[in-house]
Chain A
Amino acid sequence: MRKLLSFSALGILMLLITAEVSLAADSPSMYVYLPTDIRPIAFQKQLQSHFPGVQVTVFGRIRDFEKNIKKKPPNAVLSPGPVVELQKGMTSAVQGIRAGRKDEKYVLLSIGGEVDAKTVGGKVIGILDLLGRKRMDAFVAKILNSSKAPKLKRVTRIEDLLRVLQFKLAQAILVSERNAKALQKASKLDLQIKPVTGMKVGLPVIAFVKGKESKEIVKAAQKLKGDINVTMGVERWNKL
């Protein structure tokens, strides 16, 4: 009898697991690669609470993000504009907006005195490795609007950029104006901001893999407000 009960319990458990797996397979998925000042796991938890019924996975590095898109394509991705533009077969559906704009300015942040974009050619500047090594030179050249490329000291987290300056590993760091202000607040170094005149960088976008659009994700994104938007550097989300 006990054996029978054991088998029954095992059967029920297997059914429950199968049901859960099947439910998970049915629910839409969203991969996120968006460097923030909080840990990917904490960010995932926060996002998940705003996207009920969606399987949210946050990646800390673009390499892992792109590898997983190829391995198991999600329904949607959430990433800064330039990252989304690189992903093939995706259509942007919801755009993050701040101060009425869908992109943001970048600046050079340095210690003691302003550093001009015209003077960094051939020198080392620090940058968040948003797109992966091979694509960063061209990306930086567009932002700086400069023909003479600097050498790049790439880091994977925003907070690491401050260390690049503290340890004098670069003459300046190239960073969004928003993050530059956050770093100024975090540090007592005499950090100077010098705007650059080149390309502005796209704010976060949600894009769908062709044929895998999800109304649930669009609706949930449009409802986002408060701290989660602050974390992502946007004020609201517009359907495109």
Chain B
Amino acid sequence: MKLQIQGKGTIWVSMLALLCVGFISTASAQTATEVDEGLEGVLVLMPESETSRSAFDGLSEELGDEFNVSSQIVDAETTKVEQLAKYISDAKPVVVVLMNNATVSLYRRYQSLTPGPYPAAVMMLTSFLKESSKGIKNATGIIYEIAGITSFVTLRQLLDQPVANVGVVYRPWAKGFVAEQKVLAATEEINIIGTEISGEGNVARQIKRAAYDLLTEEKVDAIWILNDNALLKKEVIANGWLPALKRSSAPVVVNVSSLVTPKIKFGSFAVLPDHEQLGVQAANIIFELQDQDWGVEGRSLEDPLAVEKVLLVDYAQDNFKLKKQALDQVDKLVR
């Protein structure tokens, strides 16, 4: 917030706010690292990012005064496995929380070089966790991707129009993922119609044709865009997605906030992980592990339970039949 008076007397209230935020952050970091010898330790290995900080806040608040929670920053470029080993041997945690793909990879190397037993590990903020966590021992976690069923049921809650058939374009690597999502979505009577493209050569042209066919021949009620970098390149969006979606008013569901923008007619609804709540969910897994004597046997990876909803509001009001109070259920309205 900046208040400006007659161009000269500028009051930088933002400075004060920043000072306050700094004070609060410092205070919370200190609280998190205060050591109570009688408590078991939770070591959070995380990158320096806003999302991991939100998740850490949710986690450490929920664990409250029942654990000694400490954190160490892991940098994908510079942190070596020896450093990671030192973090763990110093903290002697009962649980390590691993945030992001680079940290999970480094922890895998740590396990390959260090004899066990290993503390329980809770992995989060890691893309395609099922694949990226293969081989890691005594670990569980929360999948980062929002399940299709979550996105579609959430969309259905907002709309007074059918969300029964949802089209998705995918590359061969995502075949298994789409098949899993299809089974889950079917339990809510939502049919995912997938079109596989090779993803080689002219990707934009493949997407344009596939998306156009889904909309005109399959007459899907919505399009779901996967978080696949190759399908979200600028050139692919401009020459593939946008021409295919031009004449359609079907909701386009994305899982990246920046794709919901009035600047282009692309994503109209996004369902995203709520990072602070992911931290709370991870904390609850830690409490459950405590009840299981720190073993992960019988556990599978969890899907995110709490999500944030983003809606391109003017577009939605013009093109969708929104339910009464629908906008009150949305976290972020983009105009």
Give the residue name and chain of the A residue nearest to B157 (CB). Answer: A186
B154 contacts which chain A residues (CB < 8 A)?
159
**B1-18 contacts to A (CB < 8 Å):** 3, 5-6, 8-9
A37 contacts which chain B residues (CB < 8 A)?
329
**A13 to B5, Cβ gap below 8 A?**
yes
**B329 to A189, Cβ gap below 8 A?**
no
**A189 to B306, Cβ gap below 8 A?**
no
Q: How far is the CB of A134 from chain B (nearest CB, A)?
A: 9
**B328 to A2, Cβ gap below 8 A?**
no
What are the interface flags for B155-185 relative to A under an 8 Å C-beta threshold, 1 for contact and 0 otherwise? 0110000000000000000000000000010
CA distance A154 to B280 in the complex (A): 10
Tally A-B pairs: CB < 8 A.
Answer: 75
Is residue B145 within 8 Å, beta carbon to beta carbon, of the partner chain?
no
Is residue A187 within 8 Å, beta carbon to beta carbon, of the partner chain?
yes
**A2 to B6, Cβ gap below 8 A?**
yes
With most chain A CB atoms within 10 A of its CB, the pick from B150, B325, B328 is: B328
Of B86-94, B262-270, B283-291, the segment with at least 4 beta carbons within 8 Å of chain A is B283-291
With most chain B CB atoms within 10 A of its CB, the pick from A3, A153, A163 is: A163
User: Per a CB cutoff under 8 Å, which of A7, A9, A157, A166 touches B188?
Assistant: A166
Is residue B193 within 8 Å, beta carbon to beta carbon, of the partner chain?
no
**B305 to A160, Cβ gap below 8 A?**
yes
B62 contacts which chain A residues (CB < 8 A)?
63, 133
Taking A10-B5, A13-B5, A160-B305 as contacts, is the C-beta distance between A189 and B287 under 8 angstroms?
no
Is residue A164 within 8 Å, beta carbon to beta carbon, of the partner chain?
yes
**B5 to A156, Cβ gap below 8 A?**
no
User: Per a CB cutoff under 8 Å, which of B3, B303, B328 touches A13?
Assistant: B3
Q: How far is the CB of B144 from chain A (nearest CB, A)?
A: 15
What are the interface flags for B288-313 relative to A under an 8 Å C-beta threshold, 1 for contact and 0 otherwise? 10010000000000110110000000
Is residue A151 within 8 Å, beta carbon to beta carbon, of the partner chain?
yes
A187 contacts which chain B residues (CB < 8 A)?
153, 188
User: Per a CB cutoff under 8 Å, which of A38, A155, A188 touches B329?
Assistant: A38
**B95-149 contacts to A (CB < 8 Å):** 147, 149
**A162 to B331, Cβ gap below 8 A?**
no
**B149 to A166, Cβ gap below 8 A?**
yes
A10 contacts which chain B residues (CB < 8 A)?
5, 9
User: Per a CB cutoff under 8 Å, which of A6, A43, A166 touches B9?
Assistant: A6
**B306 to A155, Cβ gap below 8 A?**
yes
Give the residue name and chain of the A residue nearest to B285 (CB). Answer: A153
What are the interface flags for A24-41 relative to B under an 8 Å C-beta threshold, 1 for contact and 0 otherwise? 000000000000011100
Q: How far is the CB of A210 from chain B (nearest CB, A)?
A: 28
B147 contacts which chain A residues (CB < 8 A)?
167
Is residue A42 within 8 Å, beta carbon to beta carbon, of the partner chain?
yes
CA distance A46 to B328 in the complex (A): 10
Is residue A220 within 8 Å, beta carbon to beta carbon, of the partner chain?
no
CA distance A156 to B157 in the complex (A): 18
Is residue A169 within 8 Å, beta carbon to beta carbon, of the partner chain?
yes
**A202-220 contacts to B (CB < 8 Å):** none
**A156 to B331, Cβ gap below 8 A?**
no
Give the residue name and chain of the A residue nearest to B154 (CB). Answer: A159
CA distance A224 to B61 in the complex (A): 35
A39 contacts which chain B residues (CB < 8 A)?
328-331
B288 contacts which chain A residues (CB < 8 A)?
151
Taking A6-B9, A39-B331 as contacts, is the C-beta distance between A63 and B284 under 8 angstroms?
no
With most chain A CB atoms within 10 A of its CB, the pick from B6, B288, B302 is: B6
Extra inter-chain contacts (15) besides given A151-B291, A156-B306, A160-B305, CB under 8 Å: A7-B9, A10-B5, A13-B3, A38-B328, A39-B328, A39-B330, A42-B328, A153-B284, A166-B188, A167-B147, A167-B302, A169-B302, A169-B305, A186-B153, A188-B189
Interface residues of B (CB under 8 A from A): 3, 5-6, 8-9, 61-62, 147, 149-150, 153-154, 156-157, 184, 187-189, 277, 280, 284, 287-288, 291, 302-303, 305-306, 325, 327-331
Interface residues of A (CB under 8 A from B): 2-3, 5-7, 9-10, 13, 37-39, 42-43, 46, 63, 133, 151, 153-157, 159-160, 162-164, 166-167, 169, 186-189, 227
